[in-house]
Each structure stands twice: as C-alpha cells, then as structure tokens.
Amino acid sequence: MPTYNLKAIGVVPGAKDFIDIVLSKTQRGTPTVVHNGWAIQRIRQFYMRKVKFTQQNWNEKLSQILDEFPKVEDIHPFYADLLNVLYDKDHYKLALGQLNTARNLLDRVAQDYVRLLKYGDSLYRCKELKRAALGRMCTLMKRQGPSLAYLEQVRQHMSRLPAIDPNTRTLLLCGYPNVGKSSMMNKLTRAEVEVQPYAFTTKSLYVGHTDYKYLRWQVIDTPGILDRPLEERNTIEMQSITALAHLRAAVLYLVDVSERCGYSMAQQAALFHSIKPLFANKPVLIVANKIDVRKMEDLSAEDKQLLDGMVEEAKRISNGGAAAVAGDAGDEEVLLAMSTLSDEGVMEVKQAACDRLLNFRVEMKVAGKRISDVLNKIHVAQPKPRQGVAAGSRPPVIPAGVAEARARRAGGEVKKTERDLQEENGGAGVYSADLRKVYQLANPEWKYDIMPEIMDGHNVLDFVDPDIEAKLAELEREEAELEAAAEAAGGGEDMEDEDEEGLTEEQAADLKAIRARKKVLISEHRSKKNSHRNQAVMPAKLANARGRTSDAMQRSLGALGIDASKAAERARSQSRGRKRERSASKAPSGADEDVDMEGGEKKKRVHSSKSRSMSRGRSHSLAEPRAGSGLKDVAQRNKGIKMADRAQWRMNKMAKVGESDRVIQTKMPKHLFSGKTPGHGTRNRR
C-alpha cells in the first residue's frame, strides 16, 4: 500500500494560466521562422512539430497532476474515508476523471491534425491547420476550468492536513466537546493546540509526538463528538469517527466527572455505548478528568454505576481482541483519574495507555499467521538435566579461596579495594577516590600538604599572610585613633600651620600663591569636566586665539622663575619644518652650485646628482625600507617598484586588471554573428 506525501503535490494552475504556460513553452521551444520559398515537406514538418510539441506539453502537465493526487483505491482506508468526508469522494474522482478524459482528447486532436498536415499543399493551409489544432486544444482546456479550480482548492487543504501514520503506535483522545482532550494533548506533547472554555474549539485532527521507553508515539486529538445518529453528524464529527474506525490505536475516552463541559455523566455514558462498535480490537481506557474540581469519592451512586458500566464494557471489548490470547486483559486497570489543570495523574495515564498498546501489538503479532515463519527460524536451546541431579537443586558454588578472601576483607585483615570503598561510601557517582594516598614521598606526612601554586617563578603561598585580617584591623584602629587626635587638636588648619613653620616671608607668600592657584585649577577642571559635552571642540589652528602661543608660555614660566627661551626657540624651528643643510662644504662631490641674489646675500642650492622626474619621484619612496620586508636599502626598494610596474604593464596591454581577471577581448566575433552560410543553412541557433 503506497504512502503519499500530501504536501508535495504541485500547484494546479487555472485554465487560463494553463493555456498561457503551454503556448509560451511551445513558442520558446520550437522554431519561429518559416518562409514561403521552402519546400512543402519542410513547411509541413515545421507546423507538425509545433502541434506535436504542444500535445506533448499538455500530456506531461496533465499526467503530472493525475499522478501526484492520491487515488482513493490505492491509499490507506483512513485517508480514503477522510477524503470522502472532507472533499466528497465522487466529486474528487469526477474532477480527476475529467482531466484524464481531456488528456485523451488532446492526444486524439493532435493525432488528427498531424494526419491532415501531412497533406497540406501550401504554407497558408498548413498554418491554418496548426491554428485550428492549437485552438481546439485550448478550447478543451477552457472547459476544464472548474475541475482545475476544485483540485487546486483540494490541494491547498491537503497540504494543511497533519501527517498521520496509520500504522505506528498511536494514542487517540476522544469524547464529548470541552472534556479536556486538547489540554491533555498539550501536556503529553509539544503541540500547541488551542484551548478555549467552549465546545468545538478543535475542528480538525491534530497530531503530536511523545517518547516512552525510547520509542516515538503519535498522539491524535480528535474533535468532540455528540450523541446522535451517524447521518446527522457534521464534517467535524465525522473526522473523529473516521480516525476511530480505521486507526489501530489505544483509545482514551475522556469523561468530565465535574460535568462542567455542559454534558451530564449519563450523556457521556450514552455516547460511549453508542460509539463502542468503533472500539473493536483496540485497547480502551476510561479516563476521568477534572478530579481537581470533583473527586472520585464525591461521585454519586448513579454516576459510579455509569462509570462501572463503561469500565465493564471496555474490559469486554479488550477481551474480545488480541488481549484475549494472553488472558490477562481483564486484570489490567481500565479506569484512570487525572487532572490536566494540576497535572495529577497525567503521566500515569500515559504510561498505562502505552503499556496496554505495546502488549496489544505484541499479542496481535503472536496471534497472526506470519509469526510461524519467524518461529521456524528461532531455536531456543534447553539444557537437559543430568542423571541423579534434580532440576533447580544446584546452588551457586563459591570457591573456598574466594570465600576466605571475602571473609578476611570483611574483617579488615585484607586491604579493601576501591570498589569496596565505593560501595561503603555511597556508590558510583557519590564516592570520590582519594589519589593522594598512593603518593610515594620521602615523608608520608607530606601527602596531604597544600600544593604550591607557582606564578612568575614564585610560590604564591610565600606572599600570603595568614594574619592579614588582624593586621588590617590594627591599621584601621590606628587610623581611627589618629583622626580622633587630629580632630581634638583643632582640625586641619593647625596641620597647615605646622607645614608653614620654618618658612621665610617670601616662601610663605609663594606657598600661599601656589595653594590659591591650585584651588583655581581644580575648580576650572571640575567645571570643564561637567560641561565639556556642551562645548564645541576648538581646532588646533585657533590655539593662538586662546592664548596658547610660545610667548604666552614664556611669560607664564618666566613669572615662576623658569627660563623658557630654549623651549620657545625649539617650537619655532619645528613649526617651520625641516631645515636643509645649506653649507657648501657639506655638498656632495659632483654637485652643481647655483647663485641667486636676494637682499644682497648669496644663497647656494645644492642639487643631488641623482635627479628624478616628477612621475618617477611619485612612484619611488624616499623613506627607508620597512623592517622585515627583505630589502636592505632604498635602491632595492625602487628596483622592486620598477619590476612591479613592468609586470602590470603587460596586464594593462591585455586589458586586464590582474592575472585572475576574466575579460572578453572581442564582444561579437564575426564567425558567430555574420549572416548565412552558403549551402549549409544559417547561423540562427534556434
């Protein structure tokens, strides 16, 4: 039985789009130029090719649609009934049948007009036959517009259906609306099903997955079912009926014992008994939900009787299935209680349902006919009892040496192993082995000494003072005493007076001026620090406008008795730039001397014998080679620059930026773009 990926079905275009797609492909995929001077056989072949190409495109497109849509007879009965419920099986098959008929008619039309084109006697007649053929094909496809639109709607809805595997391990949640199926689904899986306090919030099947015993389980949340005849149920309810009828799953019938769902216990019991034929050959569990509102002990006698009736019926159904093979289905617990609000009992329900389903699937395989093929390949060897020895009467034998060693170890005579210590001290994961006890040192007392931590060649422990806390406390106590003594003596002014003792009048005046200036600088700095974000940054060229000149520096330092003339002279020399050596005595040999008259004085300009042009001077650097570049002097560096320029000149000659550049030298080669070739057709590649 093939499985279908409903999400992989391609888009079904509308009739108009379908025609545009096929005719456009015909125009692009076949020759477009025909001449009246050609031989009539060549003209016939030209138009026959267009008709056949169009018919082939129609056939491929329609065959793809028919193959991708699932066939009702070939898929699992669950999907077949679901298609019937959602889309009406007759309408669905009728739409696919119309497309199949249209495909056959298109093939017949193309065949008829190709036969007529074989006898076309002129270009005009062949062209009209081609137009008639394509026109009839388009008319046929226009009539399939409603079928194509219907199939596109079906495809869109199918792509949104959940991927349900009918053959895997499945838990199926069913019951009246608003009894807590979606809430339980959210607790068991990571699916986020909408939960609302009103009926029919869930309108379709929802699928989630959970893990139990290293196996993946499928959990299906079904819409609520009402207790009424089958022919009166709507599409939403019929989805649940279809899942119950065809899926081999563990059925969890949820009962709202609080009756807050809007339905009484009698109504829920009646629904269970009305749909119990759908539970045949399936493990069934009765799950009492919302016990946080109403405890099981608080149920009335009538409600308990209704629950007991459902439990007995569930056991009877389970005994009628494959569980009867083992004979223990009646002993298993069928009635379970939980609360999805407080999570009480939810995991217990999951475990019970999964265990029931696992046992059910195993028993079904054992009861089936295929198990004999497997059992024939399995041989279980059974040892035969020896003569004089009764079966099961042989106790375990421990060698005497092993028993003696165990006794001595238990008494402390033998050194205990690490395994013994581990078992005595909490077991694996709790016990931590002591590795220091096996250290072999000169003095065994050193085994548990603190190991030195070495940093920068020094032992960190040598710089650790164990009494640091006491010493810090002593220092703080001394500072507190000194501060108390200073306050008792009259504050900080006396301290300043002590500093001024032994100074002359001039020194005292200077000290007072320095302190005043210090206060001014501190206040200016604090004001700038607080308001610097609101001030514009002054460029360096405006420094003179702010008084930051060499003369101002000289005056301020001169007032303090510091000679700043040399600093000002150095600043002036640096601001003028590098000064050339203009002494004639230092000129190199072979240099020429030019004499200019300026202000009655002679100035000599020394020109290097190594003159360079402007362009070469730009490419060559006057700086020394960078360290690590492998060039020992400026000459080698200039030589390298010349070699690089020469290599790039070759690239430029080939119109390339670099060696890896891809360039097309001739945009339109004449041998590809020059007219017809005499006697051998044309250069037209279409």
The secondary element (H helix, E strand) that includes residue 596 is: strand 593-598
Q: DSSP assignment, residue 247?
A: -
Instruction: Tell me the CA end-to-end span of the chain in Å, nearest whole number.
Output: 47
List phi, psi (to 5°) of 344: -80, 120
Question: To which residue do tokens 């200016």 refer?
Answer: 524
Rounded to the nearest 5°, which phi and psi values hold at 309?
-65, -40
DSSP assignment letter at 561: T
Confidence of residue 58 (pLDDT cuts 50, 70, 90): very high
| pLDDT tens track for 317-333 | 776 654 444 444 445 68
Q: Is the dihedral angle over the CA atoms 293, 294, 295, 298 positive or is it negative? A: positive
The residue ranking higher by pLDDT, 655 or 455, is: 455
Give the separation between CA 537 and CA 599, rounded to whole angstroms: 44
List the one residue out of 624, 643, 648, 644 whose CA is nearest residue 634.
624
Give the helix ranges, DSSP H, for 448-549. Answer: 468-489, 493-500, 505-531
**Does residue 614 surpass a pLDDT of 50?**
no
Per-residue confidence (pLDDT) for residue 107, from 0 to 100: 95
**Separation CA 272–CA 251 (nearest Å):** 11
Question: Which residue has 């699992």 as its token pair?
Answer: 76
Q: What's the longest Cα–Cα distance across the chain?
A: 145
Query: Which domains does the chain possess?
Result: 6-157 (1.20.120.1190), 163-368 (3.40.50.300)
Count the alpha carbons within 13 Å of 196 in the hemisphere toward its beta carbon. Answer: 7
Handedness of CA 634, 638, 639, 640 (dihedral sign): positive
% of the chain surpassing 70 pLDDT: 83
Tell me: the pLDDT tens digits for 424-461? 888 888 888 888 888 999 998 888 888 788 888 888 88
Q: Which of the four pLDDT bands, split at 50, 70 and 90, describes residue 537?
A: low
pTM above 0.95, yes or no: no
Coil, strand or helix: which one is 251? strand
Please answer whether residues 466 and 450 qualify as being in contact, where contact means their C-beta atoms are separated by less than 8 angstroms.
Answer: no
pLDDT tens for each residue of 193-234: 888 777 777 878 888 999 988 889 999 998 888 888 887 888
Q: Does position 582 have pLDDT exceeding 50, yes or no?
A: no
CA distance 283 to 171: 10
Token readout for 493 is: 């002014």
pLDDT attached to residue 137: 94
8 A C-beta contact, residue 273 and residue 286: no
Q: Whose CA is closest to 154, among 217, 86, 107, 101?
A: 86
Q: For 111-155, how does the pLDDT look when each residue is reduced to its tens digit (9 = 90+)?
A: 999 999 999 999 999 999 999 999 999 999 999 999 999 999 999
- pLDDT tens, position by position, 259-281: 888 888 888 888 888 888 888 88
pLDDT at position 671 over 80: no
What span, in angstroms and rounded, lies between the C-alpha atoms of 478 and 44? 120
Q: Is 326 exposed, middle or buried (0-12, 13-18, 19+ CB in 10 A)?
A: middle
Q: What is the pLDDT of residues 148-162, one digit of tens each?
A: 999 999 998 888 888
Q: Give the residue ranges of DSSP H helices in 69-160.
A: 77-87, 89-117, 123-142, 145-159
Residue 539: per-residue pLDDT: 63
CB-side neighbour CA atoms (13 Å) of 547: 5
Joined tokens for residue 196: 């609302």
For residue 613, pLDDT over 70 is answered with no
> Is the pLDDT confidence value at 296 over 60?
yes
Tens digits of residue pLDDT in 348-364:
999 999 999 988 888 88
User: Residues 355-390: pLDDT tens digits?
Assistant: 999 888 888 877 777 777 777 788 888 877 777 777
Cα(366)–Cα(81) distance, integer angstroms? 29
What integer best gives the mean pLDDT of the chain? 81
Report the candidate in 210, 215, 221 with the shortest Cα–Cα distance to residue 247.
221
* Greatest mean pLDDT among 11-20, 179-188, 502-511, 562-571: 11-20
CA atoms within 13 A on the CB side of 377: 4
- CB-based contact 222:181 (threshold 8 Å): yes
Beta bridge partner(s), residue 256:
289
